Copies of this chain bind each other. A is one copy, B any other.
């Protein structure tokens, strides 16, 4: 297309002083949308510089994956000189993201002296200031109790709160930027990881459910609450996930398995209305029992194909190795993925932002910098 404009955040400059997942993900998202992000680390790197997984030569694959497309500057942040340079960089950029305690030179009050319309976002643990990470916030959320088959808590392997917090950070910066462009004013934004969790628990209805009904959901294994969904083991030992939400899906399940008549018998058997999501949820054990032998008699690929053809939502479970090595959706066939040369890691697939903009497209993925790569160039430009 000849009609396209630069990526949407072109021109926005951001300094990041942070570590771990959430804050680096937030500023990487903004970089992927076109912003110029300088990550400042202490000399030798922040606490996440060497985090596992690491490549054969010890490079952190974790760090490289969460800092794609940024510039990297290292400074002695304990010295007055280092703090002065960082302050100048922040003042020039006009936007700061940090997960450090914003005290002393890094306080909003101080930095505002150097840049009147500064936008500064600070991520913390609990809203009362006590420290927290994804795993401890998750423990309090209620979700581990209903993950898996029984009441024993099971953590998500996906750090859902860190990911959501990262995306709230980029939301917050863009919202403040929209305000700044009309008001001419900056502001401090704070975000507690625990509030990201609480907001999500609330948005998904779990808070109001307890208050309105006095009860909540138990562990359902791989079942779906309030609708019909289940995982089944197939003849080849692999598992598939089946989801039935609409009546079209429900008819498809009967059609694909040839078990429509038996499935319909469950209605009068259990006195439930199988034309509703709630009715199918109440009848889930009977539905499981009727269709399970069909899965056991079919290979996972056949089962998934037959169900998909009949309009049922279905997906095979796979390990990361299979996703990366043999799923075409995780390859350059998918325009979201690009091959990059990542220093210390090698030639790997990298993702750009999943949003596809027709008018102002985001760039392909770019490698992460090596630690401190841009220090000299950035400092030379300041003098």
Which residues of chain B are within 8 angstroms of A349 by Cβ–Cβ distance?
202, 207-208, 211
Q: Would you give the 0/1 interface string for A285-328, flagging 1 where the beta carbon is closer than 8 Å to chain B?
A: 00000000000000000000000100001111111111111010
| A190 and B355 alpha carbons, distance in the complex (Å) | 6
**Any chain B CB within 8 A of the CB of A379?**
no
| A315 and B139 alpha carbons, distance in the complex (Å) | 6
> In the complex, are the beta carbons of B315 and A135 less than 8 A apart?
yes
Shortest beta-carbon distance from A228 to chain B in Å: 11
Q: Would you give the 0/1 interface string for A78-92, flagging 1 where the beta carbon is closer than 8 Å to chain B?
A: 000000000000000
> In the complex, are the beta carbons of B143 and A62 less than 8 A apart?
no
Shortest beta-carbon distance from A110 to chain B in Å: 15
Nearest B residue (CB) for A162: B204
Q: Is the interface of A mostly helix, strand, loop or mixed?
A: mixed
Task: Tell me how many chains of this kind the complex includes.
Answer: 2
Q: Other than the known A62-B204, A135-B241, A153-B241, what 10 A-B pairs have Cβ atoms closer than 8 Å?
A: A52-B227, A127-B336, A136-B313, A140-B317, A142-B318, A142-B320, A156-B158, A210-B321, A212-B348, A217-B320
- The 8 Å CB contact of A208, one of B61, B352, B357, is B61
**Any chain B CB within 8 A of the CB of A47?**
yes
Assuming the contacts A5-B179, A140-B318, A313-B136, asked whether A198 and B147 have C-beta atoms less than 8 A apart, the reply is: no
Which residues of chain B are within 8 angstroms of A359 by Cβ–Cβ distance?
176, 179, 183, 185-188
- The 8 Å CB contact of A52, one of B190, B192, B225, B352, is B225
Which residues of chain B are within 8 angstroms of A55 by Cβ–Cβ distance?
212-213
**Any chain B CB within 8 A of the CB of A354?**
yes
> In the complex, are the beta carbons of B168 and A53 less than 8 A apart?
no
> In the complex, are the beta carbons of B159 and A156 less than 8 A apart?
no
**Any chain B CB within 8 A of the CB of A222?**
yes
Output the residue of A50, A56, A147, A342 with the most chain B CB within 10 A. A147
Shortest beta-carbon distance from A121 to chain B in Å: 8
| A277 and B140 alpha carbons, distance in the complex (Å) | 24
Which residues of chain B are within 8 angstroms of A185 by Cβ–Cβ distance?
5, 359
**Any chain B CB within 8 A of the CB of A263?**
no
> In the complex, are the beta carbons of B153 and A156 less than 8 A apart?
no
**Any chain B CB within 8 A of the CB of A177?**
yes
| A171 and B205 alpha carbons, distance in the complex (Å) | 23
**Any chain B CB within 8 A of the CB of A268?**
no
